[in-house]
Chain A
Amino acid sequence: MVASANTRLRLETVRLTALFGQLRAVRDVSLLFPAHTVTAIIGPSGCGKSTLLRCLNRMHELTPGASVVGAVLLDNVNVYAREVNPIELRRRIGMVFQRPTPFPTMSIYDNVAAGLRVNGKRPRREMDDAVERALQQAALWDDVKDRLRTSAIALSGGQQQRLCIARAVAPQPEILLLDEPTASLDPAGTQHIEELCHALKRLYTIVIVTHNLQQAARVSDYTAFMYLGNLVEVGRTDEMFMKPKVEQTEAYITGRFG
């Protein structure tokens, strides 16, 4: 049932270029995301890190004028192949955005159940269990278990973001994409989310975009540094931060530019 917990899933980009019209936001990036690890993508604003992330679940193409060259392989299947349905793909890849995006008209319960319901009706009992499991995984269950039927927008910012994580993991995706998930949170909320990254990588392969270098160092196993759309360097996080191989990476990490 929980396929993600035991199979060695492979996610990688192969010579991936992402365009907005003529502008190449991501240039020829080949990058492997090892299963059950956290990979951080870092780099200055506008370096293409968010765009790269959005290519992985084909959200990039929803922007008018956007297009992609190259491949994203998920278990050796190019997700940009003609026979791949992007809607089905996105059900296998959960995503959390920079700002919390709970659905304002739905209760806490319905928010978490939203991704489950698109996969068809289920018995009430099964649904309850899935919602509880997702909220447990997002470390939100204890906060909200007595008010599951109340509005989701009454929660604090940090709780809302954890609710979005619960919503993303409820359908048991294989991959979790986090696009600067703590950018709008206070330090306590940030710490919560970072702890979640550690806990959740047992279950999911996580890719996190961040422009907080300390955060990348704290949560990730691998770090990729991007600059002006190019992948400059990728490696184990401890090595990247201790002794980067490329001059540019060192300059960025030590705060000399960006």
Chain B
Amino acid sequence: MSARAVRRQLVSRAMTALVVVLSLIAVLALVLILGDLMVKGASSIDWAFFTKSPVPAGQSGGGVANAIVGTAIIVGLAALIGVPIGVGAGMYLAEYGTGRLGFAVRFIADVLNGTPSIVVGIVAWTFIVKPTHRFSALAGSVALAILMIPMLARTTEEMVRLVPNSLREAALALGYARWRTSLKVVARTALGGIVTGCLIGIARVAGETAPLLFTALGNLNFSLSVTQPMQTLSLQIYVYATGPFDDWHRLAWASALVLMGLVLVISLTARWVTRQRYGRIR
């Protein structure tokens, strides 16, 4: 082998090793976070953790049932508001958004995507909390929905654009109207991707804290009323982690572990849905 070929092979191996190491570092962050949470949080998770509400500071025991239910309600409501608008906007952008309006919507969605989440919280506070004179779960949901919409719009647009134009033409040539083509052929073909996008969007906002601080506010008691302040896991972590009690710190670690697990489950579901996309038999 010539000297040049040897050198090439060495460089090639070195580069391969480099990217492998860099990838490992990227994965390491997740492993460290999960490991740390397991070590510090798992021991505090018991049945009461899931079924009981918090007890007054200083007493031991109690759980975060209020925060788990609150997260489910606030994020669920946010999805109910955000998914139809976000997916609808994405469909519009991909199928009809070629003109000036499409350009404007796309641009605004990109700007909104980059907006700090705390700013979105302030907006929800200004337009909902202040006029109604009360913090509420609903205000929190609206804030999270606003965060979700641009994400869903852009991912839906990407997914719908992946549908080959030949399918659109085939449907139109069969005498499908434009709306029916978009709905029955294009949206259905892209459905797996759209659902994945929605789940990832939901997982993203499930961990948000800042936009909830002055909207849902937090609540130490169990509450199901969306017009009242409500606790979420993220707010619970924030309060407990910054508090002075060891018990609180333990519960914060455990809450973080549960929240992380929740997000992981949603992401895995998203993976599973995409896997189903091809070769689906109806």
A residues at B contact (CB < 8 Å): 57, 59, 62, 64, 87-91, 94-95, 97, 99, 101, 103-107, 110, 114-115, 118-119, 149-151, 153-154, 164, 167-168, 171
Contacts and interface: CB of A to CB of B under 8 A. Distances in A.
Interface residues of B, number: 24
A90 B181 CA distance: 13
Contact of B280 (A59, A87, A105, A115): A105
Interface string B214-225: 000000000000
A103 B185 contact: yes
Contacts of B49: none
A99 B177 CA distance: 22
A89 B278 CA distance: 33
Tell me the dominant secondary structure on chain B's binding face. helix
A59 B184 CA distance: 19
A87 B175 contact: yes
Tell me the dominant secondary structure on chain A's binding face. mixed
B175 A154 contact: no
B128 to A, nearest CB: 39
Given A114-B174, A118-B176, A101 B282 contact: no
B169 A151 contact: no
A87 B188 contact: no
B166 A99 contact: yes
16 contacts: A59-B169, A59-B173, A62-B172, A64-B98, A87-B175, A94-B173, A95-B173, A101-B164, A103-B167, A103-B171, A103-B185, A107-B281, A114-B171, A150-B281, A151-B280, A153-B278
Interface of B: 98, 164, 166-167, 169-177, 180, 184-185, 188-189, 191, 278-282
Contacts, number: 77
A106 B282 contact: yes
A94 B243 CA distance: 71
Contacts of A154: 279
Contacts of A101: 164, 166-167, 169-170
B187 to A, nearest CB: 10
A168 B175 contact: no
B171 A57 contact: no
Closest 10 pairs (CB-CB, A-B) = A91-B175, A101-B170, A95-B173, A115-B174, A90-B175, A105-B188, A101-B166, A151-B281, A87-B177, A105-B189
